[in-house]
A and B are shown apart, each in its own frame.
Chain A
Amino acid sequence: LAKTTQPISMDSYEGQEVNITCSHNNIATNDYITWYQQFPSQGPRFIIQGYKTKVTNEVASLFIPADRKSSTLSLPRVSLSDTAVYYCLVGFMDSNYQLIWGAGTKLIIKP
């Protein structure tokens, strides 16, 4: 059964590093893992995408272990404006190909 699992919510403080993990046991062999950020009443926005090992851009890093059964989004030195819901998006191959969104992790940053 194709499924992604993320923590429902997380709290952290300004200036800290935050790591959000998504598990995806049956990820399709050649597919990428993508993370999106969503603020209230706005559409989700692309953050980062990767296939394996580590990817870094100007806002985040993505760590993917060799077995690719999970991925960790890392937000360095968070600020209040990083308070949002974070979704992982993964492709699965069951009887047919499906793109599955995680349920989302609500991240709250405190001053």
Chain B
Amino acid sequence: DSGVTQTPKHLITATGQRVTLRCSPRSGDLSVYWYQQSLDQGLQFLIQYYNGEERAKGNILERFSAQQFPDLHSELNLSSLELGDSALYFCASSSGSGGGTDTQYFGPGTRLTVL
């Protein structure tokens, strides 16, 4: 158990809908990262927050947005969903502000299925 929690574990919705994924980092960690992993694909980095502020941005679509709240939990909002958005969404946390020395601890993921 990494100490990172994600809810829900599974989510099934229809095209055009909007969903919110939630992540609680490990106690004491200030950074939260979001990743998308489609079937049998590698990790696609979406976005990182550090202590409430956006720190780094990857290949995040304009239909997707995220935020980190004062209690350090984070939410990833996905809107106008398309079939291609079906994937595993992982959240990770780290104690520092990011960078190669900062070990990331991953949650169990949320499996999103768009029908």
The range of chain B's interface size is 20 to 34
Report the count of interface residues on A (CB-CB < 8 A): 24
Specify the main secondary structure of chain B where it touches its partner.
Answer: loop
Specify the main secondary structure of chain A where it touches its partner.
Answer: strand
CB closest chain-B residue, reference A98? B56
A51 nearest CB across to chain B (Å):
9
Q: Considering the chains assembled together, what is the distance between the CA atoms of A13 and B56 in angstroms?
A: 40
B-binding residues in A (CB < 8 A): 28, 31-34, 36, 41-46, 49, 87, 89-91, 97-99, 101-104
A-binding residues in B (CB < 8 A): 2, 4, 42-43, 45, 56, 88, 90, 92, 98-101, 103-109, 111
Contact (Cβ within 8 A) A32 B56:
no
Contacts of B43 in A (CB 8 A): 44, 87, 101, 104
Contact (Cβ within 8 A) A90 B100:
yes
